[in-house]
Amino acid sequence: MAKRLPPPRIVANPEEKPYCFISYSTREPHVNLLVECVKMVFLSHYGVEVTPSALESGASQRDRITELISNCTFGIVCLDGLRPNISFEYGVLHGKQKPIILLREQTARVDITGFFRDSPDLKLGPVSLDLDSQFSNVKDVNYAVWNRNSIAQTIGVLWDEFQKKKDEIKPFHKIVKPTW
């Protein structure tokens, strides 16, 4: 069973540590490894926030997500699963003109069964994630491929993609390249 991530912290004071917002599908258990790698690379300089899994009664999840994105320094979007929340959060990040590190796992699939959970006996095979056809509005945007089987490679990909955004991320904190 996938480990549940802690609820996001509220950034009420601009003097607090800047943070990155991670958008991902909680239905993809291997993405927890990516979240842990993000923490290894960035926590010394940036906070790490994720989509809230539960909210107080009467609170709007959409408003909370929009607030987290509005206040983040940059976003990391993991396309694995290609769930609607990922598309929505990517759109909010783009609309707010936040720098985005766009990622997909090398064997990423579209979570088709998540769209049809109430359909008994629906037989659908795995569908590989193909950005050119399934998320074509961003096919001209560079994305990086991470590897769920290699922590060192994933950390290297995160650091490399972060460096490519140094002119966009404000504040940009220099982070020494992790070595293994």
Task: Please choose, from the candidates 109, 114, 52, 126, the residue with its C-alpha nearest in 3D space to the C-alpha of residue 84.
Answer: 114
* Range from 3-12, 34-43, 149-158 carrying the lowest mean pLDDT: 3-12
Q: Is residue 12 one of the residues assigned to a domain? A: no
Q: Is residue 89 one of the residues assigned to a domain? A: yes
Q: Which amino acid is at 96?
A: K
Give the number of domains in the chain. 1
The pLDDT score that the predictor gives to residue 54 is: 59
Distance between CA atoms of residues 155 and 14, nearest Å: 28
pTM: 0.81
In the DSSP assignment, the letter for residue 60 is -
Q: Is residue 55 one of the residues assigned to a domain? A: yes
User: What average pLDDT does the segment 13-18 reach?
Assistant: 71
Q: Is residue 11 one of the residues assigned to a domain? A: no
User: What average pLDDT does the segment 9-34 reach?
Assistant: 77
In this prediction, residue 80 has a pLDDT band, given cuts at 50, 70 and 90, of confident
Q: Is residue 7 one of the residues assigned to a domain? A: no
Provide the residue range defining the domain that includes 74: 19-112+127-164
User: What average pLDDT does the segment 61-90 reach?
Assistant: 87
Q: What is the CATH number of the domain that holds 81?
A: 3.40.50.450
Q: Is residue 106 one of the residues assigned to a domain? A: yes
The pLDDT score that the predictor gives to residue 47 is: 95
C-beta separation of 52 from 85 below 8 A: no
Two tokens, residue 6: 């802690």
Q: Is residue 33 one of the residues assigned to a domain? A: yes
Q: Is residue 35 one of the residues assigned to a domain? A: yes
- Does the pLDDT of residue 72 top 80, yes or no? yes
User: What average pLDDT does the segment 18-39 reach?
Assistant: 89
User: What average pLDDT does the segment 105-118 reach?
Assistant: 67
